[in-house]
Structure 1
Amino acid sequence: MFLLNHTTDNSLIFQKMRETFQHRQKLVNDPGRSVDILSSFPRFLDTKGLVDQDFTLLFDDDTSSRLLQKWDLFFKPHVIKEAKRLTSTPELRHLVQSAESSPGSDLDEATTYDQEMASLLLLLHLLPPPLRGLKSPKISACDAVERLVVFHKSCCSLEEHLCNQQGRQPYLLAVGRQKSKIESFYITMDKRLIPCKANHSLGACDELFKAHFVFNLSYDVALVNFYTFLQTTVYNIDVGKMKESPRVNDLRARLLNQPVALSLVSKKL
């Protein structure tokens, strides 16, 4: 462990993290242990790509690559199509416009996320937070957005953001001068930052999803429908075993009832 925590050789870090993978999984899956996994394995905090490696070791290369391979080609256009059927709101129109925009489009770059993030946020609007009973406050899809991704201006202090953070499930911290031009992404977890290997929205969301499995974390209650759809419909994990809401079932049925599009996807993948 001393060598793992002190070496500056990236290839050696990845090798040692592979060798300690089974031990790490025992720690995060043992309900009787209260282990701060980021303190035990601090290389997650300074080495990009370790979350992706652990997820691939948990599953396989095919499962690990599904979101990046299938989103733009198949899921994104159908998510946009379904989102246009929702009751129109200024926020929804803004996201659709951004998701359909081409690079260099005349959009407000300071307040508009790029195509990839906009399309993912449209999925969140299609699968809003579930109702939690009469005594729990209702959370809208717009409110849930900041449980998935928070924009942070690159000129502002990251430490100050972490100090003000409330205890919550992991989310993306998107750092840049404006929303449309994010310079770096972090997974924010336990008031610490795990740097994302990806410097684009879809790749960062891919790593955020994977972190839940790597660290054995439950989904944020407001994002459970969103993450469940990604898990069962995009990554094909625990299909038929994972409890799904009627909204998730219905959206999957509508999206996958696209025989022509699916045949095109299978030929290209």
Structure 2
Amino acid sequence: MDDFVKRTLEAWGLGELIPTFEAQKIDKEAFYLLNSNCLSSVIPFVGQRVKFENKLKELLEDIRNILEKSPDGRSIVFNLDNNSLIGLNERRSMVRILVSHLIERFGENPSSRLKAALAVAVVDQFPSLKDTQGTGYDAWYTPGRHHRPATGFLEERLRNVRKRLRRGSRTSQEVSVPTTIVVSVLPEDTVTPEDAVQMSMWLKTNLWPQSQVADFMKKTAGYRARWIRANGSKAIADIISEFPRLVDTPGMISQDFELLHPDASRKMDNWCSGFAEKIIQMAQQQQRNPSLEYLPADKRGDVALQLLPMVIPPYPYKEGRKMVRPSIQECKSAFIDTQPVGTNMAEYLTNTRMEHPFVLMLGHGHDCSQAFSIINGQALTHSTLLDAVDMCFKAYYVFDLKYPNACAQVYEFLQTVYEIPGAVRPTVQVLRAQFSAAV
């Protein structure tokens, strides 16, 4: 028995049949071929058999057939079959088509098992949409539990349709909540607590010799990580005041990050080869912009980073009682703020209002002349835009900061690039699935 059979039976509420199906060696191919005679011997109890036959009948209406009944759906099937990816607009169209079909057949309140079965069928028939984490279909449908409502693209669309039918209200969108950075294991101490305190005091007043600074910073990483996380989050200015070498000594943020996440520290090295081309391809689909095809090879990695806010648009979020809907331009500036070459850096740093770490790019259009990571009003120089983004991402983990609301979805996606576990939004889950399918 394969995973498809097990997941489908569980989604239908017939998990008790799993041992029987496993004993009978019923895999995916056999599952679809089951007829009444087979079911009579495999499922002797009438109640279970009737439920199974009804669910199987519903499932056998191929997702492909549903989509191919409309021009938009045929385009979606073509892109998934040939490119293993769909853009944001195509994903929304796909959800609309599937939910319309669901409502037409089962009304506006289909059961959770029906929604789960549809989600299972989607990722089974289009493996590039199956996430590598969780059930694989959480982005499409996750049932409610522990007094929390159901989530996922299908559920959100159904909820919006019901609202419009009853009150004529506007379609709601995914709402962002601040993403908490989670560090599973803090670095072990290599020195005594007393020595760690003494070394940290020495580091506050000494910049040289650099080899000793780097050595003391490494030895006090565990002490520093616990200090930062003790008694709740701390302001980044307070952390830098206590540990100034983090920002004024090159490589210290990266060193602390590597000790926190040793397996993730070099993951961004794969950006150009593993992610950039697909990001550009998605942007082309959404923008219909042929100029992206002619980008020189050495610019494509930088351009892909700049396109992320368009490929994964920002989420609305609540600020007190007010709902804030950041624009794509606001998201771009919160992630990578582009300013012209010759910008007065002292004046820029004095006037900037952004408190979170971000990237400053000096250049025009997609052409980067200089790149900086801006942390607590200090500009750290980097040789490439990719290095600046890498530094900013790592700063959120070293300083234990939440991703900024305006560009949280971009950092959530980068979190998947670094392969760091943690909650991400359904939009990012689907993007992660498509990249995993391409590997």
TM above 0.5, yes or no, is yes
Secondary structure at the counterpart of residue 427 of structure 2: helix
Distance 1:156 1:229 in 2: 30
Change (3 A) 1:85 1:165: same
> Retained in 1: the 8 A contact 2:277–2:300?
no
Larger Rg: 2
Structure 2: stretches of 5+ with no match in the other structure: 1-199
- What does residue 283 of structure 2 align with? 83
Root mean square deviation of aligned Cα: 2.6
Distance 1:126 1:30 in 2: 37
Are 1:54 and 2:238 an aligned pair? Answer: no
- What does residue 236 of structure 1 align with? 419
Partner of residue 212 from structure 2, selected from 2, 5, 12: 12
> Retained in 1: the 8 A contact 2:368–2:385?
no
> Retained in 2: the 8 A contact 1:148–1:172?
yes
Change (3 A) 1:157 1:45: farther
> Retained in 1: the 8 A contact 2:361–2:369?
yes
> Retained in 2: the 8 A contact 1:124–1:226?
yes
- More helix per residue: 1 or 2? 2
> Retained in 2: the 8 A contact 1:129–1:225?
yes
TM-superposed deviation, 1:119: 0.5
Q: 1:43-100: CA deviations, max 9, x gaps?
A: 233211111101001111x3110111x2111111111122222144xxx666x357x3
Whichever residue aligns with residue 150 of structure 1, its letter is: D
Distance 2:303 2:432 in 1: 19
Distance 1:10 1:153 in 2: 34
Kindly indicate whether structure 1 or structure 2 has the higher relative contact order, using CA contacts under 8 Å at least 6 residues apart.
1
Distance 1:223 1:151 in 2: 15
Change (3 A) 1:7 1:169: closer
Distance 1:168 1:3 in 2: 28
Q: 1:144-186: CA deviations, max 9, x gaps?
A: 1110122345644322212212143210123469972433x33
Partner of residue 226 from structure 2, selected from 20, 26, 32: 26
- What does residue 148 of structure 1 align with? 335
Q: 1:85-120: CA deviations, max 9, x gaps?
A: 2144xxx666x357x3245xxxxxxxxxx4322101
> Retained in 2: the 8 A contact 1:174–1:186?
yes
Distance 1:43 1:67 in 2: 24
Secondary structure at the counterpart of residue 22 of structure 1: helix
Q: Please identify runs of 4+ aligned residues in structure 1 that moved more than 4 A.
A: 32-35, 175-179
Distance 1:226 1:93 in 2: 24
Whichever residue aligns with residue 199 of structure 1, its letter is: S
Distance 1:21 1:51 in 2: 10
> Retained in 1: the 8 A contact 2:357–2:374?
yes
> Retained in 1: the 8 A contact 2:254–2:391?
yes
Partner of residue 101 from structure 1, selected from 296, 301, 312: 296
> Retained in 1: the 8 A contact 2:308–2:410?
yes
Whichever residue aligns with residue 65 of structure 1, its letter is: R
